[in-house]
């Protein structure tokens, strides 16, 4: 008669007519041999949580041979790992608390699956399956390679995400990420009923720098300017490179007076940069256009277009200056 579990996983009837019915002694021996040969761990705990069967792989989870592990309770096995620094990685300074937590989770569900790491660096996926009679089957499989690939993917994803958000040359937010972060800040200020200011910053006559000193020096000048701007801004201000020689800064929770002060500070900081011998007295300047939200309802697009208009005025006014957008003047 073929093997046909009557009650399914966790409720297998192993008595007459159950899983062993019709299996020859040889087949049962082979089954035991298969359980021993497999690299997967197989264990059975009785209703008192005492290990009544374990293959070698399963016993190794506790740093023991099957003979040594046989008859020990789950708690004794864990204490052995902790005391001898073998088997599963029990990361705690308080083993009693760790065991109390483990007991809270263990045997609460008929089926539970989780991952854990071992002191030898391996990772395993552990599965616990309760029978109706209260025994617990435990299975584990080695997932070290899967974990290694997962970690590699995580690192790669983080790297890609940084690359996607960062300007290659200057290392600050690129246009896309600046707009995303600035949008968040504008919304936050609007909800809090606070003002915020947007500064559009453009390097003056930058084409001349490139023409006179070359593109590489131009790049270096852009990096120096970025460093000077970053130094003058606060941690929660958002700075980004919009493209070319144009930057933007979103200054949250700042009204007109403070925003003008910040803009002027940035302008002076750029004029004071020492670009080194290679640039021979080069003193590039910036023009800044500002727009300040006044109370509720101001959107980022509104701020950008007004700051752009103010920048246009700053350029027309002779450059190396800061202009605030206002209804009257624009
Ligand atoms: N070195 C370097 N130059 C860049 C980069 N991006 C844009 N530029 C240069 O920046 C210059 C911008 O020139 P324009 O748009 O004419 O502006 P400007 O010379 O700064 O003049 P105003 O803005 O009117 O004061 C161009 O020569 C671009 O090639 C970059 O990443 N590196």
Environment class of 316 (CB within 10 Å of its CB; exposed 0-12, middle 13-18, buried 19+): exposed
* CA quadruple 110, 116, 122, 128: dihedral, nearest 10: -10
Distance CA 319, CA 321 (A): 5
Atom of ligand 1 nearest to the CA of 202: 23
CATH code for the domain defined by 38-147: 3.30.450.20
Residue matched to tokens 């003979």: 67
Every domain of the chain with CATH number 3.30.450.20 lies at 38-147
Mean pLDDT within 118-146: 96
User: Mean pLDDT for the chain?
Assistant: 91
Taking only the tens place, the pLDDT of each residue in 69-104 is 999 999 999 999 999 999 999 999 999 999 999 999
The reported pLDDT for the residue numbered 326 is 85
Sign of CA dihedral 272, 276, 277, 278: negative
Residue matched to tokens 């130094």: 231
Task: List C-alpha distances in Å: 72 to 49, 108, 185, 190.
Answer: 8, 21, 59, 63
- Ligand 1: distance of its center to the CA of 210 in Å? 8
3-state secondary structure (DSSP) of residue 183: helix
Topology of domain 167-324, CATH: Alpha-Beta Plaits (3.30.70)
Residue to mutate (ligand 1; options 169, 175, 210; most atoms within 8 A of CB): 210
| Residue nearest ligand 1's atom 1 by CA | 218
- Ligand 1: distance of its center to the CA of 280 in Å? 19
Residue matched to tokens 């202009």: 323
Taking only the tens place, the pLDDT of each residue in 158-174 is 999 999 999 999 999 99
Distance CA 150, CA 147 (A): 5
Taking only the tens place, the pLDDT of each residue in 199-226 is 999 999 999 999 998 999 999 999 999 9
Task: List C-alpha distances in Å: 133 to 106, 109, 296.
Answer: 16, 14, 66
> Is the confidence at residue 149, as pLDDT, over 90?
yes
- Ligand 1: distance of its center to the CA of 167 in Å? 16
Residue matched to tokens 């096995």: 77
Question: Nearest 5°: phi and psi at 109?
Answer: -130, 150
Distance CA 92, CA 30 (A): 41
245 catalytically annotated = yes
Helices in the chain by DSSP H: which ranges?
A: 25-37, 56-60, 66-69, 74-84, 95-105, 144-165, 175-192, 206-213, 215-232, 256-271, 300-316
**Of these residues, 245, 246, 253, 264, which one is catalytic?**
245
Determine how β-strand 322-324 pairs with β-strand 286-292: parallel
Every domain of the chain with CATH number 3.30.70.270 lies at 167-324
| Residue nearest ligand 1's atom 13 by CA | 207
> Is the confidence at residue 277, as pLDDT, over 80?
no
Residue matched to tokens 């004794």: 76
Instruction: Please name which of 249, 236, 242, 257 lies closest in space to residue 192, comparing C-alpha atoms.
Output: 236
């Amino acid at each position: 008669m073929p093997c046909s579990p009557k009650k399914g996983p966790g409720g297998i009837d192993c008595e007459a007519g159950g899983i062993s019915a019709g299996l020859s002694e040889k087949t049962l021996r082979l089954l035991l041999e298969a359980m021993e040969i497999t690299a997967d761990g197989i264990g059975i705990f009785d209703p008192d949580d005492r290990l009544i069967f374990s293959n070698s792989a399963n016993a190794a989870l506790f740093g023991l041979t099957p003979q040594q592990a046989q008859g020990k309770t789950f708690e004794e096995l864990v204490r052995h790992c902790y005391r001898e620094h073998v088997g599963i990685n029990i990361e705690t300074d308080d083993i009693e608390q760790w065991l109390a937590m483990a007991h809270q989770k263990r045997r609460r569900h008929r089926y539970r699956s989780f991952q854990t790491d071992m002191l030898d660096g391996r990772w395993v996926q552990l599965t616990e399956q309760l029978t109706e009679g209260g025994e617990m089957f435990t299975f584990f499989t080695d997932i070290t390679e899967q974990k290694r690939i997962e970690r590699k993917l995580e690192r790669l994803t983080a790297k890609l995400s940084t690359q996607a958000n960062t300007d290659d040359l200057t290392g600050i937010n690129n246009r896309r990420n600046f707009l995303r972060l600035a949008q968040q800040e504008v919304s936050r200020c609007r909800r809090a009923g606070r003002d915020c200011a947007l500064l559009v910053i453009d390097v003056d006559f930058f084409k001349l720098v490139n023409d006179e000193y070359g593109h590489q020096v131009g790049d270096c000048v852009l990096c120096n300017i970025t460093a000077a701007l970053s130094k003058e801004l606060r941690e929660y201000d958002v700075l980004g490179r919009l493209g070319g020689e144009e930057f933007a800064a979103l200054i949250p929770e700042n009204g007109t007076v403070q925003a003008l002060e910040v803009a002027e500070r940035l302008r002076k900081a750029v004029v004071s940069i020492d670009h080194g011998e290679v640039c021979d007295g080069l003193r590039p300047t910036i023009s800044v256009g500002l727009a300040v939200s006044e109370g509720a309802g101001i959107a980022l697009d509104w701020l950008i277009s007004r700051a752009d208009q103010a920048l246009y005025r700053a350029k027309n006014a002779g450059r190396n200056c800061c202009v605030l957008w206002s209804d009257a003047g624009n």
